[in-house]
Amino acid sequence: MGTGFRIITITCWLILGCCGLIHAEEQACLECHPGHYSESGSCTDCHLGRADTIRKEIAHDRILTARFSAFTLPDSPVVKRGKKLMEQMACRRCHISGGKGNKYAANLDWSPQNSTAEELLNAVREPALFMPDFHFSEAQVVQLVNVIYANSRETGQPEEEIPVLIHFEAPQPGEKSVFEKECGSCHRMLTKHKGGLGGSYMGPNLSGLLTEFYPKTYPEEKAWTVQRLKDWLTNPRKPLKNARMAPVNLNDKDWQQLQVGFIDGEPPERLTCQETCRL
C-alpha cells in the first residue's frame, strides 16, 4: 500500500509538472525572469499574475507589467505625479477613488477587480461619452492607472453597492430640462438620476459643479455655490470682466428647476436653509 501511494504521488507530480502547475511560489516566475526588488516581497505582490505555474498564458493572467506596478514601490514618483494629476483634472467630480468622490460614473476602487490595467489605460486614453477628453500623454495615462491601483489598495475592498446606471442613449421625445434648453448647447454633465445631459464640448463639463470635487474655477479661484452660479448666469461679465458667455435669462420657475438639476436631488451643505426649503 505504501508503494502504491508513492507511485500515485509521483504520477500526480509528473502530471502537474507537464501541465506547468508545480506549486513553487517564487521558482515558477524566476524560471523566465531575473529577480529584482526582492525586499519588496514576492513577484505576485507587485505584478499579480500566478506564480504557481510556468505556463505563460496562465502565469500572466491579469499580470501587471513594470509600468503599471510602480504603485507598489514606496514613495513612487509615478504615483505622486498621478495623484497630483487626478486632483488637477478633478476626476472625483464623477468617480470615487480612494473612497472619495461623486457616484456619477464607475467607482474606480472597484476597477482593478473588474478590469485589466490595459483596459483602464484604454478607457482613459479613449474616454467614453460624457467623459472629457483631457488629451493626456501616454506617461500621464500610466500615472493615473497606477494611482487607481494605489488608491484601491489603500482603501481596501469597497462595500457592496448598486452599480451606477448611466443613460447614454438619445433622450426621449418630450419636454427638455432647463439645463438641456439653456446650457446643453455648450455644456455636458453627468447626473445620478437623469444620466448624461447636454450635447456639446464647447464649454467645460459641468458634472458635479456644486460639489466639493469640482475645480475652483469661479473667478478668484473660488468654489461654485448656488449664489455664485446665479450671479454668473445673470451677468457673467460681472464676476469676470472678459467672460465670453452670454447672460442666461431665467424666470423663477426655471431657475429653481436648474438648481435641482445641478444639485441632482441631494442638496449640498453649502445651501442655506431658505434655499433648501425653496427646492
| pLDDT for residue 21 is more than 70 | no
d(C-alpha 258, C-alpha 256), whole Å? 5
d(C-alpha 4, C-alpha 26), whole Å? 31
Question: Do the two domains 71-155 and 178-278 of this chain adopt the same fold?
Answer: yes
Report the amino acid identity of residue 105.
A
| pLDDT for residue 254 is more than 70 | yes
**Would you call 96 helix, strand, or coil by DSSP?**
strand
Rounded alpha-carbon distances, angstroms, from residue 175 to 91, 178, 180, 253 = 31, 9, 10, 15
Question: What whole-number percentage of the chain has pLDDT above 70?
Answer: 63
Residue carrying the nine cell digits 505504501: 2
Q: Which residues pair with 197 in a beta bridge?
A: 189
Phi-psi region of 57 (alpha: psi -120 to 50; beta: other; left: phi over 0): alpha
C-alpha cell at 45: 505582490
C-alpha cell at 218: 469661479
Residue 200 half-sphere exposure toward CB, CA atoms < 13 A: 11
| pLDDT for residue 235 is more than 80 | yes
CATH number of 178-278: 1.10.760
Helix, strand, coil abundance in the chain, percent, nearest 5? 45, 5, 50
Closest alpha carbon to 219 in 240, 194, 193? 240
Domains of the chain, by residue range, sit at: 15-63, 71-155, 178-278
- pLDDT for res 16: 42
- Lowest mean pLDDT segment, chosen from 36-40, 176-180, 253-257: 36-40
pLDDT, averaged across the chain: 77
d(C-alpha 79, C-alpha 151), whole Å? 10
C-alpha cell at 277: 426649503
- pLDDT for res 122: 93
CB of 145 closer than 8 Å to CB of 120: yes
pLDDT band (50, 70, 90) for residue 129: confident
C-alpha cell at 251: 424666470
| pLDDT for residue 1 is more than 80 | no
- pLDDT for res 65: 79
- The string of pLDDT tens digits covering residues 53-88 is 666 665 566 677 778 888 888 899 999 999 999 999
Class at the top of the CATH hierarchy for domain 71-155: mainly alpha
- pLDDT for res 78: 95
**Read out DSSP for 176-214?**
PPHHHHHTTTT-EEEETTTEEEE---SS---TTTTSTTS
- pLDDT for res 190: 87
- pLDDT for res 273: 33
